[in-house]
Copies of this chain bind each other. A is one copy, B any other.
Amino acid sequence: MSVSVINYHRGMVRWEPNARGRLEQAALELYFERGFEQTTVAEIALRAGLTERTFFRHFADKREVLFSGAGMLEELMASAIADAPADAAPLDAMAAALEAAGALLQERRALARQRQAVIIANRALQERELIKLASLAAALGEALRRRGVAEPAASLTAEAGVAVFKVAFERWVGDADQAELPEVIRASLDELRAVTAGTAPCTNHPHWPGW
């Protein structure tokens, strides 16, 4: 995915610096203000100061604005698993993937919050999000199997990792006190280790103040 694109249009060379980012920003603002269903591609292009044609050069449809990042996240996490030291335990390879995902999303906190509000308000988008999470678990399970992790350990580690990600993400995105996502993810992973070890969960964990 290119972040800025040169358009050759009727013989003229036109710069559209960061067209993709501007379209994404405009779309999220409009989905947030008016609702996803009520927003048209024409309105998104207008707010971004670009044309509909440019929109469709970057996104297949208005739903893809919300979900194209999911593929990037999946690749990033699968690569982190592949790149973990050969002797790393499955859950440690998964922790590296979660760390990478946390760092990426932390940089995009404002967009992530807006996106989450849009998705929560629309049932079809919620369903799409669940499908993306299931696809993420499948991809991470595959990345673990490529490291030689057997079943069912690979699938269980992948599903548990996605569970940690989901719980931590929801905590972070709805959190007023601005904890950093990688930190919330680490706390979540520790908590998962505690509950599966059967030890008393940390009921007063500093990163879960409001729950």
Contact = CB atoms under 8 A, between A and B. Distances in A.
A194 B202 CA distance: 20
Count of this chain's copies in the oligomeric assembly: 2
A151 B168 CA distance: 11
Contacts of A195: 89-91, 153, 156-157, 160
A153 B203 contact: yes
Contacts of A188: 152, 156
Main secondary structure of the interface of A (DSSP, over half): helix
B194 A153 contact: yes
Interface residues of A, number: 43
Nearest to A148: B203
Contact of A196 (B127, B134, B150, B193): B193
A183 interface: no
B150 A201 contact: yes
A67 to B, nearest CB: 14
A163 B152 contact: no
Given A163-B159, A195-B91, A196-B91, A152 B171 contact: yes
A153 B193 CA distance: 10
A111 interface: no
Contact of A131 (B92, B127, B187, B200): B127
Contact of A156 (B163, B200, B203): B163
Contacts of A89: 195, 198, 200
Contacts of A208: 150-152
Contacts of A92: 198
A196 B198 contact: no
A76 to B, nearest CB: 21
**Sorted from nearest, which 9 A-B pairs have the closest CB atoms?**
A159-B163, A151-B211, A153-B201, A150-B203, A196-B196, A130-B130, A155-B167, A89-B198, A156-B192
